[in-house]
Structure 1
Amino acid sequence: MKTLIVLSVLSLCNAFPMPSSFTKCDKRKPDFDECLSEAVRNAISQLVKPIEKYHLPSFEPFQFAGVNFKPGAPSGNSSKIKFTDYRVYGRTKLNSLKAKMNFEDNTLTLELSHPEIRYEFHYEAKGKMFILPFDSAGHGTGTLKNPIYTVKFTLEEYLKDNKKYLRVVDSNMTLKPESMTMYFENLFKNKVLNDAFNQEMTESWKVVLANLSAGYIDSYAKAYGDVFNNFLEVVPLVDLFEGVQ
């Protein structure tokens, strides 16, 4: 723990070159986006463990604090749902990845396809589902089959210690899975009713996802933007890409 604190303090003061195991692509070359796509895929595959010097956490699992949903989500009824201790598994396993960097408007767009993404979380829920009241908490899981995430980072350039850096000023995400299953333990005390409700959510997964997306996707996009920013804070622009000044 002390080592991590020392590294973090040093990172705030110093600039580092790109990690030696990462690929540096040349902006001037016509195959830049192809190179960048492979470079990002390679970098993500290495995050089965954290790279502390660059403030990069492990993506197995990727963790963020949680999500709060407004009354009315996800079913249109008067309910409040809070997800905490949110863990995402499968982010380092990719079917494909396409990256496109636009230096004119400073945006980076990633399209990531995974065979499977699995979520585990703790939930707290209170409200009424149709005529059935509930006030419960417990463990929850979710699984996405063949999801495609499209993440767009909006960047800005700034100077620090006479060196140019990039930082994320906005991030947004879309999600298109082939299918989704979810299971909430103990949402209803009656196990038969609880299992039936979870089965209905699985069968109606497109409606559930549409209602959950507003809170979940924004939180997910911000969490990835924060991780990317941690990396960008310690690697100057000239060390990110060849052919930049």
Structure 2
Amino acid sequence: MKTLIVLSVLSLCNAFPMPSSFTKCDKRKPDFNECLSEAVRNAIGQLVKPMEKYHLPSFEPFQFASLSPKSGVQGGSSSTVVKFRNYRIYGRTKIDSSKAKMNFEDNTLTLELSHPEIRYEFDYEAKGKMFVLPFDSAGHGTVTLKNPIYTIKFTLEEYVKDNKKYLRVVDSNMTLKPESMTMYFENLFKNKVLNDAFNREMSESWKVIFANFSAGYMDSYAKVYGDVFNNFLEVVPLVDLFEGVQ
């Protein structure tokens, strides 16, 4: 066990070049952002399995141990608090289009990723009241997004470690725009007919539900993806990320 701990600590201190299968773009060239857009798409597409050397997890699925919004949604005749465990996201590695813009003046990286479909699977706990119907339930749930567009902005800062320059994420924020969304929560209501009808109604009214719930989760998503990106940046020096930097 002590040997494993020592090796883990040493691996955090090592510096590595970019994976040979990743594309390294030249900051000096006018098509830098176009190159970076394709490089990001190519890199994410390879994360069907983890890259342990670079501390990158598998994105198929991408997993959260747990996820909770900032607060429950409350208003009018309904009040709901939902918590998620064993949260898994499928479809991250399949990208229809990608746009990346790296601003070296203010050290920001903005990514816009379009996917054909993203599926969220999870175990949930929900408590609240919908009109006059109280519920306190738990079970499996699925949410499917069609043609979602994710935009995430990383704010970076430069620092020096072992006489080499690195970047790290100091802030991240995220927005999401799906074309449509369907939902199914098992056991939300004990009566299956009622439960199925309620799930159909939620899917038909997805825009209202998305507007009420999504904002509470975007900060959690952004932070987790910022942490993943930071794990990669910790072991790859700046000169190995891009051509034309010092």
Relative to the length of structure 2, the TM-score reads 0.95
Match of 1:161 in 2: 162
Match of 1:126 in 2: 127
**Runs of at least 5 residues in structure 1 that lack an aligned partner in the other structure:** none
Cα-to-partner distance string for 1:35-85 (whole Å, 9 max, x where unaligned) = 111111110110000000000000000011232232335987222110111
User: CA separation of 1:81/1:3 partners in 2, compared to 1, >3 Å: closer, same or farther?
Assistant: farther
Q: Establish whether residue 44 from structure 1 lines up as the match of residue 44 from structure 2.
A: yes
Match of 2:174 in 1: 173
SS of aligned partner of 1:141: strand
Match of 1:31 in 2: 31
User: CA separation of 1:16/1:2 partners in 2, compared to 1, >3 Å: closer, same or farther?
Assistant: farther
Cα-to-partner distance string for 1:102-160 (whole Å, 9 max, x where unaligned) = 00010000110010001100100111111111111000001000111111111011111
Alpha-carbon contact 1:153-1:171 (below 8 Å) kept: yes
Higher alpha-carbon deviation: 74-83 or 217-226: 74-83
The separation in 1 between residues aligned to 2:75 and 2:46, in whole angstroms, is 35
User: CA separation of 1:3/1:106 partners in 2, compared to 1, >3 Å: closer, same or farther?
Assistant: farther
User: CA separation of 1:107/1:173 partners in 2, compared to 1, >3 Å: closer, same or farther?
Assistant: same
User: CA separation of 1:73/1:65 partners in 2, compared to 1, >3 Å: closer, same or farther?
Assistant: farther
The separation in 2 between residues aligned to 1:111 and 1:158, in whole angstroms, is 26
Q: Residues 142-221 of structure 1: matches in 2 within 5 Å?
A: 142-221=143-222
Letter paired with 2:157: E
SS of aligned partner of 2:68: strand
User: CA separation of 1:117/1:3 partners in 2, compared to 1, >3 Å: closer, same or farther?
Assistant: farther
The separation in 2 between residues aligned to 1:42 and 1:159, in whole angstroms, is 28
The separation in 2 between residues aligned to 1:71 and 1:180, in whole angstroms, is 20
Match of 1:87 in 2: 88
Match of 1:53 in 2: 53
User: CA separation of 1:158/1:41 partners in 2, compared to 1, >3 Å: closer, same or farther?
Assistant: same
Q: Residues 216-235 of structure 1: matches in 2 within 5 Å?
A: 216-235=217-236
Relative to the length of structure 1, the TM-score reads 0.95
Deviation, structure 1 residue 162: 1.3
SS of aligned partner of 2:73: coil
Aligned pair count reads 245
Alpha-carbon contact 1:117-1:147 (below 8 Å) kept: yes
The separation in 2 between residues aligned to 1:76 and 1:149, in whole angstroms, is 32
User: CA separation of 1:116/1:75 partners in 2, compared to 1, >3 Å: closer, same or farther?
Assistant: farther
Alpha-carbon contact 2:120-2:143 (below 8 Å) kept: yes
User: CA separation of 1:106/1:11 partners in 2, compared to 1, >3 Å: closer, same or farther?
Assistant: same
Alpha-carbon contact 1:67-1:215 (below 8 Å) kept: no
Alpha-carbon contact 2:186-2:195 (below 8 Å) kept: yes
The separation in 1 between residues aligned to 2:222 and 2:108, in whole angstroms, is 14
Q: Establish whether residue 244 from structure 1 lines up as the match of residue 245 from structure 2.
A: yes
SS of aligned partner of 1:78: strand
